[in-house]
Structure 1
């Protein structure tokens, strides 16, 4: 961990830092404008992630009682050839250009390597940072630490006040809402559908922490099922961050997960789920639907979303470092 300076103190984060962490993120949002405001409950949910080692892999930078920077390092619970570790954090706008960001990234990389040695030393380590593309100075910082762009996430937005295209449910399939009874099928589809993309499986504890937490909106989350054999075909899971709605008066339905099993692809499953969820979100009083779609290039194909009425918004970059 970096040494303390005369005015700033570094230490590991604790769950008691949730309010200070929310204040830091909201101060960053005032300048960075990525559309993410946080409550204390939101940041506490991040701090209790079962795959975040607060004592050995988190850092808070404090000016007296004010958190002016932070870094959290979490690991994936299951891997094969690659062990993927995520670094997440930021610096208060009033404290940027002082070397704090560089020190945080260096500390995060060191912690990622330590987690790798502890949990998955026999695999290849891949360290990821996700950041909005437009934030000044971020690209220069990450490149200086050996990171390179590895993936692009394009945010897509749908103004629900506009006409929502009619989307038929494919023959032989039916829509059903999320329930406690089909929750495990939602998780199974997430794990199976994203194997091709190299994502590690999400175990139950991580699913509850990251997916069906307090931001989850079951009334706007749906599963498509095969009528003939009862098998699930695809899912769409929606979340909403109330801090954003309270600050802006504008409620976003974030389509956080859209997944289709291999045997049901190219049959209109995703389009049907999106169309159904758009109508449900509009009926439930949401003002906009938001989702992100990933691509290995900055100009990926987003036809299914554009057809549904989504338009591009901000773009985010996954910066990667392998060792």
Structure 2
């Protein structure tokens, strides 16, 4: 392990590493099979995240020009008394079981604590890691560093075609597509709808970087509006990754965000948005729709998706370390 680690070049990531990062992630996908492929544009979007400190909170291990492993740590504004910091990373299949993953996780935890001390020291720190459940060695590595499973997400797929159910828009509401004019309402719904789950708000700069970027699909993103008072009731935002389509041959409409404001819950808002988006995706040539949902969510979302025709395919784990 020591020989492998010492033979590598270790340094912070830069925006010039976008292609090397994409190559690493695609090599990981060839073995891990989680359904995520990347272009250099995709990884560049992550490297320019306004809440990612490249110099202080990233680390890459390089074998010549090949990225053998990496970690990056991004933070969010604190919510109430909790500050969640996300550590992300991975190791090239050709370099696994040699101690690189352990070094990267340890570096990620240290960087997370430093970011916390810098940006939100008065709050409680929770460090999160997010990985597919089936990847070999992940559970052992994370447990050895003090992480424990916090919750589970199901990845679900819908075949479109004849499987699209008939849905009705609730009385008094109307569906409208995403536009530049209602974009801020989409962000507001995301922040308000997910507040109950304890998630921090998404600021404007992060929203533009992570949501309204080159993967965003405005033609399959919709808002439901109350016709009586003009207030937004819920929204669905869709993304698509070209790298996945190029390799798999499947053009996936990923329902990335689905949210309903509290005053409009249990009125069929989510079901109406999902049904409308499924039909739009089918009409525009997508091969299937995919999404992820917390399998233990109290909102009943899992049942809504099953009723709409989504089927569970794999499970992801959010690992947490409280400090």
In the alignment, the residues of structure 1 paired with residue 86 and residue 180 of structure 2 have an alpha-carbon distance, to the nearest angstrom, of: 30
In the alignment, the residues of structure 1 paired with residue 209 and residue 301 of structure 2 have an alpha-carbon distance, to the nearest angstrom, of: 31
Q: Kindly report which structure 2 residues correspond to 1:276-315, keeping only aligned pairs within 5 A, or say none.
A: 276-296=276-296, 302-315=302-315
- Unpaired runs of at least 5, structure 1: none
CA 1:112–1:278 in structure 2 vs 1: closer, same or farther (change >3 Å)? same
For residue 35 of structure 2, give the secondary structure of its aligned residue in structure 1: coil
CA RMSD of the aligned region, Å? 1.4
Q: Kindly report which structure 2 residues correspond to 1:133-212, keeping only aligned pairs within 5 A, or say none.
A: 133-212=133-212
The match for 1:322 is 322
The match for 1:104 is 104
For residue 154 of structure 2, give the secondary structure of its aligned residue in structure 1: strand
The match for 1:77 is 77
In the alignment, the residues of structure 2 paired with residue 180 and residue 62 of structure 1 have an alpha-carbon distance, to the nearest angstrom, of: 41
The match for 2:38 is 38
In the alignment, the residues of structure 2 paired with residue 294 and residue 187 of structure 1 have an alpha-carbon distance, to the nearest angstrom, of: 20
In the alignment, the residues of structure 2 paired with residue 43 and residue 78 of structure 1 have an alpha-carbon distance, to the nearest angstrom, of: 25
Q: Given the alignment of the two structures, is residue 58 of structure 1 paired with residue 58 of structure 2, yes or no?
A: yes
* TM-score, normalization by structure 1: 0.97
Higher helix share: 2
Q: Is the 8 A contact 1:244 1:251 kept in 2?
A: yes
In the alignment, the residues of structure 1 paired with residue 182 and residue 198 of structure 2 have an alpha-carbon distance, to the nearest angstrom, of: 25
Q: Is the 8 A contact 1:150 1:296 kept in 2?
A: no
In the alignment, the residues of structure 2 paired with residue 224 and residue 73 of structure 1 have an alpha-carbon distance, to the nearest angstrom, of: 35
For residue 196 of structure 1, give the secondary structure of its aligned residue in structure 2: helix
Offset, 1:79: 2.8
Q: Is the 8 A contact 1:129 1:320 kept in 2?
A: yes
Q: Is the 8 A contact 1:131 1:318 kept in 2?
A: yes
For residue 121 of structure 1, give the secondary structure of its aligned residue in structure 2: coil
Q: Given the alignment of the two structures, is residue 116 of structure 1 paired with residue 145 of structure 2, yes or no?
A: no
In the alignment, the residues of structure 1 paired with residue 199 and residue 190 of structure 2 have an alpha-carbon distance, to the nearest angstrom, of: 10
Offset, 1:295: 3.7
For residue 169 of structure 1, give the secondary structure of its aligned residue in structure 2: coil
Q: Is the 8 A contact 1:3 1:10 kept in 2?
A: no
Offset, 1:78: 3.8
Q: Is the 8 A contact 1:4 1:10 kept in 2?
A: no
The match for 2:17 is 17
CA 1:311–1:296 in structure 2 vs 1: closer, same or farther (change >3 Å)? closer
Offset, 1:303: 1.1
The match for 1:249 is 249
The C-alpha deviation readout for 1:113-138, integer Å capped at 9, x for no partner, is: 00000000000000000000000010
Offset, 1:301: 6.9
Q: Kindly report which structure 2 residues correspond to 1:223-238, keeping only aligned pairs within 5 A, or say none.
A: 223-238=223-238
Q: Which moved more, 1:215-224 or 1:301-310?
A: 301-310
In the alignment, the residues of structure 2 paired with residue 142 and residue 163 of structure 1 have an alpha-carbon distance, to the nearest angstrom, of: 39
Number of aligned residue pairs: 320
Offset, 1:4: 9.2
In the alignment, the residues of structure 2 paired with residue 92 and residue 66 of structure 1 have an alpha-carbon distance, to the nearest angstrom, of: 9
The C-alpha deviation readout for 1:159-193, integer Å capped at 9, x for no partner, is: 01333111000000000000000000000000000
In the alignment, the residues of structure 2 paired with residue 242 and residue 217 of structure 1 have an alpha-carbon distance, to the nearest angstrom, of: 11
The C-alpha deviation readout for 1:57-109, integer Å capped at 9, x for no partner, is: 00000001110100000000243200100000100001000000011000000
CA 1:3–1:234 in structure 2 vs 1: closer, same or farther (change >3 Å)? farther
